[in-house]
Copies of this chain bind each other. A is one copy, B any other.
Amino acid sequence: MSKLLQDAVAEFAKLPGVGRRTALRLSMHLLKMDAEAVEQMTSAIARFRREVRHCEECNNLSDEARCPICQNPERDRSTICVVEQVGDLMSIENTRQYRGLYHVLGGVISPMQGVGPSDLKIDMLIEKVAAGEVREVILAISTSIEGETTLFYIMNRLKAYPDVRVSTIARGIGFGDELEYVDELTITHALLNRRPVEG
């Protein structure tokens, strides 16, 4: 087998969810692409890894020292939405409903995986709150056991700042979800947090 192909397959197979079969299919696909398109692809990927940084203010991925959101004077600097990872931030940004700032933790507390509070950007969040400008912290953290642990840990740390409102995003039945297929915990939560019909 071609050494060049062998190398390409081995490298693709290092990506998560890519087995040898898929790696071979991806390699073969490269041969159907323009040579320049492949150069562009590989250099964009290499450049991303080499040059991307974490925003020094919110830990979002950024091309500069501060990310575009933190740099934007239109954003409401008194509200911080705390998320686990950059993907979550992007999901919220896509709704175009949120005008505050973010804080990306970089994960959740997970003793099983050896992730403690000091491995996350929690101190950085507390420092930002301590600086005094923040009025509300929205915790948009997942409802996994690790997520809940992280939530309680942060809530405890934030008790030192009683003037700062702390909230979590609403849990309930998603739009388009069929009740029949929703898990019991979510339904229980949705029932307990029922809201009066307006109109």
Render A57-76 as a binary contact track against B, CB cut-off 8 A, 1 for contact.
00011110001100000000
A88 to chain B, nearest CB (A): 11
Q: Does A142 reach chain B (CB closer than 8 Å)? A: no
Checking B4, B48, B50, B86 against A47 with a beta-carbon cut-off of 8 angstroms, the contacting residue is: B4
Instruction: Choose among B8, B26, B46, B86 the residue that contacts A38 (Cβ–Cβ < 8 A).
Output: B46
Contacts of A47 in B (CB 8 A): 4, 7-8
| B49–A33 touching, CB < 8 Å | yes
- Asked whether A61 lies within 8 Å of B5 as measured between CB atoms, the reply is yes
Judge whether A37 is part of the interface by a CB distance below 8 angstroms: yes
- Contacting residues, chain B, for A86 (C-beta < 8 A): 5, 28
Q: Shortest beta-carbon distance, A38 to chain B, in Å?
A: 4
- Selecting from A16-24, A112-120, A125-133, A159-167, the interface stretch reads A16-24
Q: How far is the CA of A5 from the CA of B53 in the complex (A)?
A: 10
Question: With a CB–CB cut-off of 8 A, which chain B residues contact A38?
Answer: 45-46, 49-50
Of chain B, the residue at the smallest CB distance from A93 is: B1
Q: Check if A170 is an interface residue, CB within 8 A of chain B.
A: no
Given A7-B44, A14-B41, A25-B87, 12 extra CB contacts under 8 A: A2-B63, A4-B48, A4-B51, A4-B52, A12-B45, A28-B85, A30-B49, A31-B49, A35-B49, A39-B50, A41-B45, A42-B42
